[in-house]
């Protein structure tokens, strides 16, 4: 049983005037700082510098926040649209999402250019970009986010292009949500296909880590998925976790932080103390059950992104899944996976305000 949300493609507001590109955001069954790494090793968030204001009214880099707040996200563009329509109350509510750092998903098209542009804008702002690499062959087992690179050679070229695009700028990369877990469930990625996937993930870690300012976290599922953490640890070892900075849990899911920490700590112990990050984007009201991964109602925004979690071994809380982007067409009239869904976004923000 997967128990996780999937995602698909969404239209990215281009950094170059007049250009529209496609990227992937959402997923899973789911913007470099100044010189001087934060404690914990290279690629840290660093110390935020004084920041310019955003093109979107009310959207600025947050004082003390290490990660990049982009004004090119779907939520930020919706804030601007709402203000232009005089819908100020809704815009203010949506700022609870748009005003926080979220991740830039990289998919089949335009990934290299997007990675270069977003990481450069983050560096100019004195912040660290967060990316999700999401183009593994046989992606999402043919579900809502089916696709990915057509073969192993294409994927190696794709991830090398992303690594080159980041240059020497700071970035954190969450690597291929669901990819490891799908070798352990009923997806069908077994034998040679699983071995190929492990090899591609290990290659991706090595390519991205050629830049010492990049941190890499392999996705490791969530505490509601069926696999044994010990089996997950074994699969992560095959996927190059030794060269990575750690792993990510709860991507695009809803489990509360305490439960994610219990799962993450057990997995960390099995991996010799590897650190991890937690997706808290929609965890404010916890999970509605292992089977309720697809746009469940009544959920809320979770802890704000931060590299100061106060928890040993937890490098950051991140909004890896962009709040307000659909998990998929779940049979209730929802948008396709990855498309921004204003009513759901407002609901997440309103529920968080009530907590």
DSSP per-residue string spanning 147-160 = B--SSHHHHHHHHH
Convert the pLDDT of each residue in 262-300 to its tens digit.
999 999 999 999 999 999 999 999 888 777 888 889 999
Determine whether 135 is an active site residue. Answer: no
Three-state SS letters, 86-118: CCHHHHHHHHHHHCCCCCEEECCCCHHHHHHHH
Kindly indicate the confidence band of residue 132, based on its pLDDT and cuts at 50, 70 and 90. very high
Its pTM surpasses 0.85 = yes
pLDDT digits (tens, 9 = 90+) for 190-217: 899 999 999 999 999 999 999 999 999 9
pLDDT, residue 34, reads 24
Average pLDDT of the chain, as a whole number: 85
pLDDT score at 58? 66
Residue predicted with more confidence, 227 or 20: 227
Comparing CA positions, the residue from 208, 209, 330, 350 lying closest to residue 285 is 350
Q: Are 90 and 129 in contact (CB under 8 A)?
A: no
Residues 6+ apart with CB under 8 A from 74: 10, 13, 25, 322, 324, 325, 340
Question: Can you spell out the DSSP letters for 117-130?
Answer: HHHHHHHHTT-BEE
Write the pLDDT tens digit of every residue in 302-354.
999 999 999 999 999 999 999 999 988 888 888 888 899 999 999 999 998 88
Read off the DSSP letter of residue 53. B
Across 116-120, 144-148, 157-161, least confident range: 144-148
Q: So what's the pLDDT on residue 265? A: 96
* H or E stretch covering 161: helix 152-166
Can you give the pLDDT at residue 272? 97
**Res. 27: pLDDT tops 80:** no
pLDDT band for position 104 (cuts 50, 70, 90): very high
CA distance 198 to 211: 21
Tell me 37's DSSP state. Answer: P
What percentage of residues in the chain have a pLDDT greater than 70? Answer: 83
- Look at residue 177 and tell me whether its pLDDT is greater than 70: yes
Q: Residue written as tokens 């991830």?
A: 159
- Is residue 136 predicted with pLDDT exceeding 90? yes
Phi, psi of 306 (to 5 degrees): -165, 150
In whole angstroms, what is the distance from residue 197 CA to residue 189 CA? 9
pLDDT band at 61 (very low <50, low <70, confident <90, very high): confident
- Supply the pLDDT for residue 142: 65
Tell me whether residue 185 is one of the annotated catalytic residues.
Answer: no
* pLDDT at residue 59, as a whole number: 78
Distances, alpha carbon 265 to alpha carbons 115, 255, 272, 284, 313, in Å: 31, 15, 11, 20, 8
Catalytic hit among 71, 135, 178, 315 = 178
| Predicted pLDDT of residue 2 | 39
**pLDDT score for 331:** 82
> Mapping DSSP to helix (H, G, I), strand (E, B) and coil, where does residue 262 land?
helix
**Chain center to CA of 346:** 20
Q: Establish whether 230 is a catalytic residue.
A: no
- Secondary structure (3-state) at 216: strand
**Which DSSP state fits 246?**
E
- 68-80 pLDDT, tens digit per residue, is 999 989 999 999 9
H or E stretch covering 353: helix 342-354
Which is the catalytic residue, given 71, 140, 185, 279? 140
């Amino acid at each position: 049983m997967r128990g996780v949300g999937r995602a698909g493609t969404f239209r990215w507001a281009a950094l170059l005037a007049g250009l529209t590109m496609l990227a992937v955001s959402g997923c899973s069954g789911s913007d470099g700082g100044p010189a001087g790494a934060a404690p914990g090793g290279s690629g840290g968030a660093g110390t935020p510098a004084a920041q310019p204001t955003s093109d979107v009214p009310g959207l600025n880099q947050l004082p003390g926040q290490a990660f990049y707040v982009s004004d090119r996200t779907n939520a930020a563009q919706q804030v601007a649209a709402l203000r232009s329509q005089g819908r100020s109350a809704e815009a203010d509510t949506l700022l609870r999402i748009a005003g926080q750092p979220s991740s830039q998903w990289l998919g089949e098209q335009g990934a290299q250019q997007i990675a270069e542009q977003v990481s450069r804008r983050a560096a100019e702002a004195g912040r660290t970009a967060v990316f999700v690499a999401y183009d593994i062959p046989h992606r999402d087992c043919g579900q809502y986010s089916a696709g990915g690179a057509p073969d192993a050679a294409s994927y190696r070229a794709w991830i090398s292009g992303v690594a080159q695009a980041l240059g020497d700028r700071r970035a954190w990369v969450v690597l291929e949500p669901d990819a490891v877990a799908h070798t352990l469930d009923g997806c069908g990625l077994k034998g040679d296909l699983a071995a190929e996937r492990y090899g591609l993930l290990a290659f991706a870690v090595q390519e991205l880590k050629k830049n010492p300012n990049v941190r890499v976290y392999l996705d490791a599922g969530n505490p509601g998925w069926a696999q044994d953490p010990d089996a997950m640890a074994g699969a992560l070892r095959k996927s190059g976790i030794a060269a990575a900075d750690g792993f990510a849990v709860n991507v695009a899911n809803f489990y509360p932080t305490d439960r994610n920490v219990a799962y993450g700590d057990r997995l960390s112990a099995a991996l010799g103390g590897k650190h991890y990050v937690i997706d808290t984007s929609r965890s404010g009201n916890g999970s509605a059950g292992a089977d309720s991964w697809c746009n469940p109602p009544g959920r809320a925004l979770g802890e704000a992104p931060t590299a100061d979690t106060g928890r040993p071994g937890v490098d950051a809380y991140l909004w890896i899944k962009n709040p307000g982007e659909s998990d998929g067409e779940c049979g209730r009239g929802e948008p396709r996976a990855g498309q921004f869904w204003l009513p759901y976004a407002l609901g997440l923000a309103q529920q968080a305000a009530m907590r």
